[in-house]
Amino acid sequence: MDKSCRHFPTKYAVKAGVWMICITGDIHGEYARFEHKKLKSLKEGDCLIVCGDFGFLWNDSPQERAMLKKISERRYRILFVDGTHENFALLKRYPVSELYGGRVQKITDHIIHLLRGEIYTIEGHTFFTFGGGDSTDKDFRLDNGTWYCEEQPSPAEMAYAVRNLTAAGRQVDYIVTHQPAMKERALVEGIVPRTPLTDFLDELSHAVRYERWYFGSLHKNKRLPHAHSLFTDIVTVGK
């Protein structure tokens, strides 16, 4: 066992799975992304997962509420982890309930916020989700009042994630985050600064068995050996 995996006492083999669920990167409130030809084949009961920065919960304007209603009329569900460009004060207004075996916030019947540290079972496969990240434009957004400290996962949220992963035997089928671990980020962007979150994600990448890790935040589409950096691409999970 890697010595860096100080939180996780055991390990075991990964199981296989086949997915018929789509996943994409940051949307940033761009409705045109839902016109992608790959989404036209999704039917009722299918899902589109968004790796953070969903962008349709930003100012709670009448126009934004109308857009959420329009998106909710689609046949499939939209599941998103939070990113760094979210209005966390607005997100807090939505009550927490349970779906897929974990805690969620139901924005509408077809738009679901997947919370940090949860493990969901969807179509018989397991998803570990951990939203949030470190904004590169923090200073600018501090000035205009659009930066929220909640974007950065807390020690309590990390500890909660560890408890859930340990209870699951440190094995899930897929990991979905907004920000990647350092190794994967370096493969996409080169040298990047370390933060408490990158350290946690690095530890997670060594300690947990998984088939593939999906992340957004970098605004680049790139398939890696055991991960996938997503922006505008829409891919089928597990393929």
pLDDT in tens, 185-220: 888 877 677 889 999 999 999 999 999 999 999 999
Average pLDDT over residues 46-67: 96
Q: How far apart are CA 195 and CA 177, in angstroms?
A: 16
Q: What b/e readout covers 115-148, taking b as 16+ CB neighbours within 10 angstroms?
A: bbbbbbebbebbbbbbbbbbbeeeeeeeeeeebb
Structural domain boundaries of the chain?
A: 22-236
**What CATH code would you report for 22-236?**
3.60.21
Average pLDDT, whole number, for the chain?
89
Express each pLDDT in 7-49 by its tens digit.
554 333 333 343 469 999 999 999 999 999 999 989 988 999 9
Q: Which regions of 133-198 does DSSP assign to beta strands (E)?
A: 174-177
CA 79, 85, 91, 96 torsion-angle sign: positive
Q: How far apart are CA 150 and CA 86, in angstroms?
A: 9
Q: How far apart are CA 67 and CA 187, in angstroms?
A: 36
Q: What is the pLDDT of residue 186?
A: 82
Fill in the DSSP letter of residue 31: G
- Calculate the alpha carbon distances from 178 to 27, 80, 136, 191, 198 in Å: 12, 10, 13, 18, 11
Express each pLDDT in 127-156 by its tens digit.
999 999 987 766 666 655 677 889 999 999
Q: What is the pLDDT of residue 18?
A: 37
- Phi, psi angle pair for 122, to nearest 5°: -125, 125
